[in-house]
Structure 1
Amino acid sequence: MEKSDTLKSLSPAELRLLIRQEDPRIKTTSGLAEGYQQANVVILPKHLADDFEDFCHKNPTSCPPLAKHADIRTDISQYYVYEEGRMQAVDPGFWSDMVCFYQGCSFGFEGRLKQAGVPVRNVEQGKNVSMYRTAVPCIPAGAFSCPLVVTMRPVPAAMLDTVVEVTHLNPLAHGAPVHIGDPALLGVQDLSSPDYGDAVELQPGDVPVFWACGVTAIEAILSSKPPLAFSHSPGCMFLTDGVDPAASAPDPELIPLSFLVSHNPLMYSLASKSAVAKIRQLETIIGEDPGQRGIKALFVQDELLRSCLALSHASSVAITTGFPTHFMHSPADETDGPPGAIAMATMLLSLGKQVTLVMDKREQDMNRAIIDEAVRKGVLKSEVPLVTFEDSGPDSALHFLCHNGDPHTPRYDHLIAIERSGRAADGNYYNMRGINIKHLVDPIDNLFIAAEEIPGITTSGIGDGGNELGMGKLKEKVANLMPSGSLIACDVPADYAITAGVSNWGGYAVACGLYLLHTCPSHQRYLKKGLGLTTPEDQLQDWTANLPSVDKEESILSTLMSFGIRSGKTGNLAMEVDGLTFHPTHSDIITRLLEVTRGSKPANT
């Protein structure tokens, strides 16, 4: 049951007076003093104060630093006391040689959520908010080292953007969420058993949303074992006279938006309106169709964005390409696909991801030589493993994708196919002319099929005709709207199907989109769970240097020509892709993608 209207109408000063008088109606401060900041409180010996202040600066979302007529000894309804790192039940009243820290609390934004029409379930249910110890380590400082603690509030999925915006505008109350979705991704196994506070029930349609919590400071105290320390009791906050600062809104382009990026496990991600707008610009550019392939009919907005978000959260990525459309030539492959694959691999490597290339066995030596040449020319950042996949039994794909064939320990977080021949409904593989090229294609499709049942592996497909691996997500559109679509349409879906006038452009756009996300403060904050990790200037320069460029893409196309790889549409052994010459068509697209991308500002995280 919610707090009484009488209590909710009182000012912080009036409520502090009632707390001093030990008013039995005030068990927690959730739902009280709406529009005012509430504070976590930590009181430590002076000799630990500098270390703890450093800990707060390094973990600003967990411990954001924040009252007239305030008396810390009496203005919290219940205290925890610690002696040598052990929690004690009684306040000894010993205050000499101590330093007090006031830190923001998420109760400070609950009033704003209610004003925005968002149900605050813990208040509705008359419970303290749920708080959980996570497996995410905070950044240590001196004597203080501990895991991140989070609060959880159930939120209707349709209201996530509202919740993100409202809380983003109040950084002193921990700001925007640090995780939305499956609690196991934070190391929290059971929402019904919080480490602090009460279990709050989710209603149908709710999604668990997690914010950094000031109770992290309690964990820091427990780990550092000071001779004497005090804190508020979780949920029993200090009520300040500070007004909710949300009225002074920052640049609206920096407000985050939320996007569902995985169903299994459930995971949302955040990116600023500015970064989202730029990635949508990239998506528009690559959707142009100078070759008149009809690809615009397959377009689905934000497939590029969601794929980039999922890739940003991944740690190990496998990329496959290869379309042997020229079955009368050797090699049979075309110039579309490998350049885009290499562009993505280079950016992923610069972001610290593990990258593996999965290729057909028939051209393994040639592809290895192409990769070596790309590294030698500086087009590819560094060597990457090149592996093949053969179907040697019913569990082949599972063992390829997961350590020891265990679906709980996937080897890769994300699979990407770019201009990779995809299996049609009849089990064959067709080029755009409807010719079956199955004899030239290894069953890499099986990896995408197996990944559908393995939690933690997301898939993306990039294509320009509908017969590419991953385009099975759009197979009805392909069958109805593309030439020979009912025959050639790929039957194997990916979670995200990125369509482009030329598939290479999709690879370039993914690389640029990843750069935009890694220079987006809102996304970086979310990616790092609100911890204060900084981006060195040399790393930012490295990301910029590893974007695709006209010179690099011209170089890799020249390398492909030297190995006898031909243009897809015409079969010409020339500086062209899908019948379009590199200059001016492809070079112009690359230039425009870079103009959008380099307009972004570095993140100050």
Structure 2
Amino acid sequence: MTFTLHLRARLPAALRSLTLQKKSNMRNMSSVAGGLRAASVVLLHESLAPAFERFCQANRGPLPLLGRSQPGAWTVPAPDSRTGHPQFQKYESGACTGSLMSLEEHSEQLKDMVAFVLRGSGPLEGVLEKVGIPTRNPAAHSPAGAYKTTVPCASVAGFGCPLVVTMRPIPRDKLERLVQTCCSVGAEQGLPIHMGAPELLGIKDLSQPDYGDPVVCQPGDVPVFWPSTLTSLEAVSSCKTPLAFTSAPGCTVMTDLKDTEASGLATEGFPEVHLISQDPLHYSIASAPAIRKIRELEAIIGIDPGNRGIGHLLCKDELLRASLSLSHARSVLITTGFPTHFKHDPPEETDGPPGAFALAAFLQALEKQVSMVVDRRALGLYEQLVEEALEHGVLHTRIPLVTYQGGSAGAAQTFLCKDGDPRSPRFDHLVAIERTGRAADGNHYNARKVNIRHLADPIDDLFLAAQKLPGISSTGVGDGGNELGMGKVKEAVKKHIRNGDVIACDVAADFAVIAGVSNWGGYALACALYLLNTCETHGRYLRKAIGPPRAAGAPGWAQALPSVTKEEKMLGLLVQHEVRSGVTGNVGMEVDGLPFHGTHAQMVQKLLDVTAAWA
């Protein structure tokens, strides 16, 4: 069965031949003469056409628009009794009221309607074949399942609906090859928008798709999701127009129309895939150039100015995975504070707060919720630091401060989760930057083996609880092995760090970022987040291919990065409160015995130079 569609605006003046087919023939579509491709059709009253076109443009991932007709400028297809399958769906006031073999009986209404042609998923089937992943459709003539998510598409003038996705089970060891092959297709819709646990998309049960039939995951498979043009059915339903028609699910048309916009992703090179969470399972992606820059940041901060032996603690790509995880987080809890100067008031050191404030400022620029948990005895100090940082432009938004005193066995879970419910965490990610960490004997030690437990609240318990709560990840930043989170590398600390057998922190974080000075780790995390969020490959994955891309260096991002001027001001505020250098105990412009001018200022500038080179 064929029908013709006049496509005039913005397209070559020509009649495009469209042949309606069942989806079971999709595997052979790449070889159809004339380079035809699979597509679906939406027909709406001409008054809705401008809004629907803008809706498609705002949500190009699920709704890649190939073209549209002028009102009524298409020929009604004749019924094809050979297929025996409905070819269209009819919608009235938002409800699907029937399936139709043809639209012949609606020829009068069609005179005032516009046809939109949306590219189908043909390229995906070809990619799976190329990667060597067999098709696992549930039946020869049944389309693979598609699912409504809880991810809202960008709304436009009455069109607003949840994203619909398709899923394919992909063997874990073929994930990266799959993503890179998808990228080589050159179309934006080719890349997946989620790899991992379906509940992160709001999908409760993969065995119960909203469209089609389920495809079963085998042991070792990762569920991988792509945006689906079936989103258009939800969009048509959402606008509640008196009358509309769409292609029936599982039916496609063949067209030689080309994409009207080229994807910008190809210029970024092939992406890399990285695991950022085991529970729930979650992978993320970013372009190879962005990842190279983040690895460069990791190498810069990994120098050892104090000759402590931290090179033995370094684990490759911890900065990368930590920043990827933070990029996906919505709410972050940061902690810092190492009371090494137990004979002074305050006992804090100058390493930790500057890095924590720098990271918090950039997370806030990304519109994430940020809070900071500190020792109760130090709450007054941090309240003053926050106010003064706002006055001096180090911060632009106040950081809420909280304390944690522990208590009952479930106190940490109650603190981390709404009403103590593990299904509703208040925070997605915990970050400790130069925070004293509990050793194996339950005490807290400074580098000289002095027990400072009496000065530290049990914030370690939050990191221990997070290990058992799905959906909360953690990062520890340290420079000596006795900091919270360094339990991940405690064996190396015991072996290679002076007094390591006593002082090694026993509490692990998911990611252990090692730096010559812990502040540098906070600066590097902020810079890595900037790189990721100005990477279109990662940005598309974050926004699930819906909504317009955020402009590279969105307003406030560059200004929110750490700078030599801001870090000098922050250190100056600490000096005013007589916070001391960690190694020497001096009250002055130094951190860990290293002068700000010459050492720390130079480090900040190096990190900024790497970041600016990407931008």
Q: TM-score, normalised by structure 1?
A: 0.90
> Aligned equivalents of 2:343 and 2:188: distance in 1?
66
1:28 aligns with 2:24: yes
Residue number in structure 2 paired with 1:10: none
Residue number in structure 1 paired with 2:88: 80
Q: Per-residue CA shift, 1:206-260, capped at 9, x if unaligned?
A: 1111111101111111222333322222222223346999x99964634322211
For the 8 Å contact 1:256–1:273, the answer to whether it is kept is yes
> Which letter maps to 2:89?
V
For the 8 Å contact 1:359–1:386, the answer to whether it is kept is yes
Residue number in structure 2 paired with 1:571: 585
Q: Which moved more, 1:516-525 or 1:113-122?
A: 113-122
1:159 aligned counterpart, secondary structure: helix
Quick one: which of 190, 193, 212 aligns to 1:175?
A: 190
Quick one: which of 481, 484, 490 aligns to 2:499?
A: 484
For the 8 Å contact 2:24–2:141, the answer to whether it is kept is no
> Which letter maps to 1:31?
R
Q: Where in structure 2 are the equivalents of 1:437-586 lying within 5 Å?
A: 437-535=452-550, 540-586=554-600
Q: Where in structure 2 are the equivalents of 1:263-274 lying within 5 Å?
A: 263-274=278-289
Q: Per-residue CA shift, 1:528-574, capped at 9, x if unaligned?
A: 1111234368x723111110011111111111111111111111222
Residue number in structure 2 paired with 1:51: 51
Q: Where in structure 2 are the equivalents of 1:214-253 lying within 5 Å?
A: 214-241=229-256, 251=266, 253=268
For the 8 Å contact 1:37–1:240, the answer to whether it is kept is yes
Give, in angstroms, the shift of residue 319 of structure 1.
0.6
Runs of 5+ consecutive residues of structure 1 not aligned to the other structure: 1-14, 21-25
> Aligned equivalents of 1:244 and 1:160: distance in 2?
26
> Aligned equivalents of 1:72 and 1:102: distance in 2?
15
1:128 aligned counterpart, secondary structure: coil
> Aligned equivalents of 2:589 and 2:158: distance in 1?
61
Residue number in structure 1 paired with 2:156: 141
Runs of 5+ consecutive residues of structure 2 not aligned to the other structure: 1-16, 68-73
Residue number in structure 2 paired with 1:598: 612
The change in CA–CA distance for 1:173 and 1:197 in structure 2 (over 3 A counts) is farther
Give, in angstroms, the shift of residue 44 of structure 1.
2.2
Quick one: which of 588, 594, 598 aligns to 2:602?
A: 588
> Aligned equivalents of 2:492 and 2:146: distance in 1?
46
The change in CA–CA distance for 1:121 and 1:173 in structure 2 (over 3 A counts) is farther
For the 8 Å contact 1:125–1:200, the answer to whether it is kept is no
> Aligned equivalents of 1:33 and 1:173: distance in 2?
19
Quick one: which of 189, 198, 212 aligns to 2:204?
A: 189
Give, in angstroms, the shift of residue 169 of structure 1.
3.5
> Which letter maps to 2:368?
K
For the 8 Å contact 1:29–1:235, the answer to whether it is kept is no
> Aligned equivalents of 1:341 and 1:173: distance in 2?
36
> Which letter maps to 2:99?
A
> Aligned equivalents of 2:476 and 2:76: distance in 1?
58
> Aligned equivalents of 1:587 and 1:119: distance in 2?
55
Give, in angstroms, the shift of residue 418 of structure 1.
0.5
> Aligned equivalents of 1:376 and 1:249: distance in 2?
40
> Aligned equivalents of 1:83 and 1:61: distance in 2?
23
For the 8 Å contact 1:416–1:459, the answer to whether it is kept is yes
For the 8 Å contact 2:29–2:122, the answer to whether it is kept is no
The change in CA–CA distance for 1:564 and 1:248 in structure 2 (over 3 A counts) is closer
Give, in angstroms, the shift of residue 288 of structure 1.
1.1
Q: Per-residue CA shift, 1:395-418, capped at 9, x if unaligned?
A: 111111111111111111111000
Give, in angstroms, the shift of residue 477 of structure 1.
1.3
> Aligned equivalents of 1:110 and 1:252: distance in 2?
24
> Aligned equivalents of 1:57 and 1:355: distance in 2?
33
The change in CA–CA distance for 1:45 and 1:483 in structure 2 (over 3 A counts) is same
> Aligned equivalents of 1:243 and 1:212: distance in 2?
19
For the 8 Å contact 1:418–1:503, the answer to whether it is kept is yes
> Aligned equivalents of 2:132 and 2:601: distance in 1?
49
1:154 aligned counterpart, secondary structure: strand
For the 8 Å contact 1:425–1:491, the answer to whether it is kept is yes
> Aligned equivalents of 2:90 and 2:37: distance in 1?
26
The change in CA–CA distance for 1:123 and 1:72 in structure 2 (over 3 A counts) is farther
The change in CA–CA distance for 1:490 and 1:273 in structure 2 (over 3 A counts) is same
Q: Which moved more, 1:36-45 or 1:48-57?
A: 36-45
> Which letter maps to 2:150?
A
1:31 aligned counterpart, secondary structure: helix
> Which letter maps to 1:86?
A
The change in CA–CA distance for 1:78 and 1:532 in structure 2 (over 3 A counts) is same
For the 8 Å contact 2:580–2:587, the answer to whether it is kept is yes
For the 8 Å contact 1:107–1:173, the answer to whether it is kept is no
Residue number in structure 1 paired with 2:270: 255
> Aligned equivalents of 1:109 and 1:187: distance in 2?
23
> Which letter maps to 1:266?
L
Q: Per-residue CA shift, 1:89-123, capped at 9, x if unaligned?
A: 22341343232221112222311331232344338
Q: CA RMSD in A?
A: 2.6
1:363 aligns with 2:378: yes
Q: Which moved more, 1:334-343 or 1:249-258?
A: 249-258
Residue number in structure 1 paired with 2:221: 206
The change in CA–CA distance for 1:30 and 1:244 in structure 2 (over 3 A counts) is farther
> Which letter maps to 2:25?
T
> Which letter maps to 2:87?
Y
> Aligned equivalents of 1:523 and 1:16: distance in 2?
35
Q: Where in structure 2 are the equivalents of 1:275-286 lying within 5 Å?
A: 275-286=290-301
For the 8 Å contact 1:105–1:172, the answer to whether it is kept is no
Q: Where in structure 2 are the equivalents of 1:55-454 lying within 5 Å?
A: 55-66=55-66, 73=77, 78-84=86-92, 85-87=94-96, 88-90=98-100, 91-93=102-104, 94-95=106-107, 96-97=110-111, 98-122=113-137, 127-170=142-185, 172=187, 174-241=189-256, 251=266, 253-454=268-469
Give, in angstroms, the shift of residue 286 of structure 1.
0.6
> Which letter maps to 2:46?
K
Residue number in structure 2 paired with 1:23: none
> Aligned equivalents of 1:73 and 1:509: distance in 2?
60
The number of residues matched between the two structures is: 578
2:550 aligned counterpart, secondary structure: coil
Q: Which moved more, 1:396-405 or 1:140-149?
A: 140-149
> Aligned equivalents of 1:72 and 1:257: distance in 2?
46
> Aligned equivalents of 2:613 and 2:268: distance in 1?
14
Identity %: 49
> Aligned equivalents of 1:466 and 1:167: distance in 2?
41
Q: Per-residue CA shift, 1:156-194, capped at 9, x if unaligned?
A: 111111222222344647221111111111111110011
Q: Per-residue CA shift, 1:299-343, capped at 9, x if unaligned?
A: 111111111111111111111001111122222111100000000
For the 8 Å contact 2:274–2:321, the answer to whether it is kept is yes
